[in-house]
Chains A and B, each alone.
Chain A
Amino acid sequence: MTSEAIAAPPQDREEQRHPFVSLLIHAALIAAAILMLYPLLWMLSASLRPESEIFGSTSLWPSSISFDSFIDGWYALSLPFGRFFTNSFVIAILSVIGNVLSCSLAAFAFARLEFWGKRFWFALMLGTLMLPYHVVLIPQYVLFLKLDWVNTFLPLVVPKFLAHDAFFIFLMVQFFRGIPRELDEAAMMDGCSPWRIYWKIMLPLSLPVLTTAAIFSFIWTWDDFFGPLIYLNDIRNYTVQLGLRSFVDSTGDSDWGGLFAMSLLSLVPVFVFFLAFQRLLIEGIATTGMKR
Chain B
Amino acid sequence: MAETIPGTLMSAAEPRAPGAAKRAIMGSAPGYMFLLPWLIGFLGLTIGPALASLYLSFTDFDLLTSPEWIGAQNYVRMLTADPKFATSMQVTFLYVIFSVPLKLVFALLVAMALNKGINGLTVYRAVFYLPSLLGGSVAIAVLWRQLFARDGLVNAFLANFGIEGPSWISTPTYSLWTLVILSVWQFGSPMIIFLAGLRQIPQDVYEAASLDGASKWRIFYRVTLPLLTPVIFFNAVIQTIDAFKAFTPAFIISGGTGGPINSTLFYSLYLYQEAFAYFRMGYASALAWVLLAIIGLFTAFSFLTSRYWVHYDE
Contacts and interface: CB of A to CB of B under 8 A. Distances in A.
Do A and B bind? yes
Interface of A: 8-14, 16-17, 22, 25-26, 28-29, 32-33, 36-37, 39-40, 42-43, 55-58, 101-103, 105-106, 108-110, 113-118, 121, 124-125, 128, 130-143, 145, 159, 161-164, 166, 169, 193-195, 198, 219-220, 222-223, 225-226, 229-230, 240-241, 244-245, 248-249, 253, 256, 259-260, 263-264, 266-267, 270-271, 274, 278, 281-282, 285-287, 289-292
B49 interface: yes
Contacts of A140: 45, 49
A125 B42 CA distance: 8
B37 A135 contact: no
B75 interface: no
A163 B46 contact: no
B23 to A, nearest CB: 11
Contacts of B199: 11
Given A226-B272, A244-B138, A285-B193, 7 more contacts: A29-B113, A164-B46, A193-B30, A230-B276, A241-B138, A291-B238, A292-B135
Contacts of B242: 291
26 contacts: A8-B117, A32-B110, A40-B130, A43-B146, A57-B156, A58-B153, A58-B157, A102-B37, A105-B37, A106-B37, A113-B30, A113-B34, A114-B28, A116-B25, A128-B42, A136-B50, A194-B30, A263-B140, A266-B138, A267-B140, A274-B130, A274-B133, A285-B193, A286-B195, A289-B235, A292-B132
B133 A106 contact: no
Given A16-B116, A116-B25, A162-B37, A128 B46 contact: yes
Interface in B69-126: 110, 113-120, 124-126
B138 A56 contact: no
Contact of A25 (B34, B52, B113, B271): B113
B142 interface: yes
B292 A226 contact: no
Contacts of B132: 292
Interface stretch (B1-9, B12-20, B245-253, B305-313): B245-253
Contacts of A37: 127, 130
Contacts of B177: none
A285 B275 contact: no
Nearest to B202: A11
B304 interface: no
B49 A266 contact: no
The 9 closest A-B pairs by CB, nearest first: A115-B31, A162-B41, A263-B139, A139-B49, A109-B34, A139-B52, A115-B28, A286-B196, A163-B38
B58 to A, nearest CB: 13
Contact of B116 (A14, A110, A264, A285): A14
A186 B52 CA distance: 46
Interface of B: 24-25, 27-42, 44-50, 52-53, 56, 63, 110, 113-120, 124-140, 142-143, 145-147, 149, 151, 153, 156-157, 159-160, 185-186, 188-189, 192-193, 195-196, 199, 203, 207, 234-235, 238-239, 241-242, 244-245, 247-248, 251-252, 255, 268, 271-272, 275-276, 281, 284-285, 287-289, 291-292, 295, 299
B145 A248 contact: yes
Nearest to B120: A26
Contacts of A282: 125-126, 129, 192
B240 to A, nearest CB: 11
A11 B117 contact: yes
Nearest to B285: A138
Contacts of B239: 291
Contacts of B134: 40, 267, 270-271
B35 A134 contact: no
Contact of B117 (A12, A143, A195, A259): A12
Contact of A131 (B46, B113, B143, B235): B46
Contacts of B160: 58
A130 B240 CA distance: 12
Contact of A134 (B24, B40, B203, B271): B271
Contacts of B247: 225-226
B304 to A, nearest CB: 16
Contacts of A249: 255
B53 A136 contact: yes
Contacts of A248: 142, 145, 252, 255
B117 A13 contact: yes
Given A17-B116, A108-B34, A292-B186, A33 B124 contact: yes
Contact of B38 (A22, A125, A229, A260): A125
Contacts of B157: 58
A15 B21 CA distance: 65
A118 B287 CA distance: 33
B115 A11 contact: yes
B254 to A, nearest CB: 11
Contact of A278 (B126, B131, B271): B126
A291 B241 CA distance: 10
A110 B42 CA distance: 15
B32 A115 contact: yes
A137 B31 contact: no
Given A14-B119, A115-B32, A226-B248, A134 B291 contact: yes
B24 A106 contact: no
A119 to B, nearest CB: 12
Given A11-B203, A289-B234, A134 B288 contact: yes
Contact of A292 (B27, B136, B146, B153): B136
